A and B are shown apart, each in its own frame.
Chain A
Amino acid sequence: MNDFTYHAPTSLDEALAALRGGGDGAKLIAGGHSLLPVMKLNLASPTDLVSLAGVPGLGDIADGGDSVTVGAMCRHAQVAGSAVVQARIPALAAMADGIGDAQVRNAGTIGGSVAHNDPAADYPAACVALGATIVTDRREIHSDDFFQGMFATALADDEVVTAVRFPVPARAAYAKFANPASKYAVAGVMVADGPAGVRVAVTGASGDGVFRVAEMEAALGASFSGEAVAGVAVSSDGMLSDTAAGADYRAHLVTVMAKRAVEACG
């Protein structure tokens, strides 16, 4: 890992100033569980790392009635164990409880996960299926517009995610076929029946990152049952192919996981 200057700001303004001061080489660090592994491989070599750990107000979970807002610095374990999330969006709590392992969940954050947008991360599927809004220091971005392909998002270089706001669905569930070593999704499908209708979002499978399956959404809109999606095949074009699974197998898994998620909705 190349060396860098570490900044520990104690306010959002200080964090933004440090980020701008570092120019192109500056990056934010939250829990570091996506960024540090990438830096160890020298796939990223920031000159300045700006920590959000000391910035107040980013670690709360709030029940807003028809929505739940999760602060960007909330750890996965915090989301999984939150009484509010468990009561209002149990599928989100269960999804967070399935990320990585206990120690990863004690360090990794929701803000870091969505900003990194790993194509096999779980949160992007939850955000897109639930129709979440990503709140930043300057604006609100709907998740349909936020995730823009592998490791790419709508964030500006000096923009800070401060929270993610999830509309409360009538029902939702996440089913993941996990890589046995990393617990990243080989294919993960979140199904949500919420204010914007039925949405089906897939992570882990495509080289472009999270995507929706319109045919499944239409089928579930007509009949919300596992059988409705069991016959909807997804093309293997553009699917990832690696030691965990080939493209054809991933495409097959998407349908299987979608059926399981629908059935888990009850």
Chain B
Amino acid sequence: MPTVTMTVNGMERSGNVEGRTLLVEFLREHLGLTGTHVGCDTSQCGACVVHVNGTSVKSCTSLAAQADGAEVTTIEGLANGSDLHPMQEAFREHHGLQCGFCTPGMVMSAVDLANQNSDPSEHEVREWLEGNLCRCTGYHNIVKAVQAGAKAMGGGS
């Protein structure tokens, strides 16, 4: 069984995987990082979004082997101890979640947007969140949270 090694949330992590092991399976089942969720498993819902080498991707449609040697950031890697990341704080402040299932993917996607655009318009946020589905609240507060989080980040993660 091949070995993959990647830097996950700043720590080097290795594991023996099958060729077919998805990145999300490696994160959840091998590393126990269950903050990254599997929703649709068809690359549409975005619950599985993580960062690979700084850009957001759907980890249900990536092989662990494709991320060999990469820098991976998951939702668990955002907060600094008990201090929430500004985007997480914005989701809490603006009630950008209800059941929370989509939230890790929403936040990871939003951080990628904010890294490129520190003051996204409502339209730009809605366009960017095309690949993140929420089945509870609708998107109104999520959009507000993303705009506030992006401003709070001030162009940096």
Interface residues, chain A, with chain B CB atoms under 8 Å away: 1-6, 8, 29, 32-33, 36-37, 39-40, 49, 51, 53, 77, 100-104, 106-107, 181-183
Task: Please name all residues of chain A whose beta carbon is closer than 8 Å to the beta carbon of B132 when the two chains form the complex.
Answer: 101
Closest to A36 in B: B61
Interface members, chain B 23-70 (any A CB < 8 Å): 41-44, 46, 49, 55-58, 61-63, 65-66, 68
Measured between alpha carbons, how far is A183 from B19 in the docked complex, in Å?
Answer: 29
User: Across the two chains, which residue of chain A brings its CB closest to B67?
Assistant: A53
Contacts of B2 in A (CB 8 A): 6
Interface residues of B in 95-122 (CB under 8 A from A): 109, 112-113
Interface size on B, residues (CB 8 A): 27
**Beta-carbon nearest neighbor of B49 in chain A:** A103
Q: Whole-angstrom distance between the alpha carbons of A1 and B21 in the complex?
A: 9
| Bound CA–CA A77/B65 (angstroms) | 22
Residues of B within 8 A of A4 (CB): 19-20
List 20 additional contacts besides A37-B61, A40-B42, A77-B55; criterion CB under 8 Å: A1-B20, A3-B19, A3-B20, A4-B20, A32-B61, A32-B62, A33-B61, A37-B43, A49-B63, A53-B66, A101-B132, A102-B109, A102-B128, A103-B43, A103-B56, A103-B109, A106-B57, A107-B58, A107-B61, A182-B44
CB-defined contacts of B41 to chain A, threshold 8 Å: 40
> Of B18, B42, B46, which one neighbours A101 at CB under 8 angstroms?
B46
Contacts between chains A and B (CB distance < 8 A), count = 72
Q: How far is the CA of A57 from the CA of B134 in the complex (A)?
A: 39
Residue pair A104, B43 in contact (C-beta under 8 Å): yes
Q: Which single residue of chain B is at the shortest CB-CB distance from A180?
A: B130
Tell me if B63 and A6 are in contact (CB < 8 A).
yes
Closest-by-CB residue of A relative to B19 is A6
CA distance A228 to B19 in the complex (A): 53
> Distance (Å) between the CB of B85 and the closest chain A CB?
19
Pick 7 A–B contacts, CB within 8 A, sort by A: A8-B68, A36-B61, A77-B55, A101-B131, A102-B130, A107-B57, A107-B58
Q: Which residues of A contact B130 (CB under 8 A)?
A: 101-102, 183
A210 vs B44: C-alpha distance when bound (angstroms):
24
The 5 A-B pairs with the shortest beta carbon distances in the complex, nearest first, are A101-B131, A6-B19, A101-B130, A6-B65, A4-B19
Which listed residue, B20, B63, B109, B131, touches A100 by the CB 8 Å rule?
Answer: B131
Q: Which residues of B have CB within 8 Å of A37?
A: 42-43, 61
By the criterion CB–CB under 8 Å, are B131 and A103 in contact? yes
Q: Shortest Cβ distance from A8 into chain B, in angstroms?
A: 7
- With A40-B41, A103-B56 given, is the CB distance from A8 to B49 under 8 Å? no
* Chain A residues whose C-beta falls within 8 Å of the C-beta of B43 in the assembled complex: 33, 36-37, 100, 103-104
The chain B residue with its CB closest to the CB of A2 is: B20
Distance A101 CA – B46 CA, assembled complex (angstroms): 10
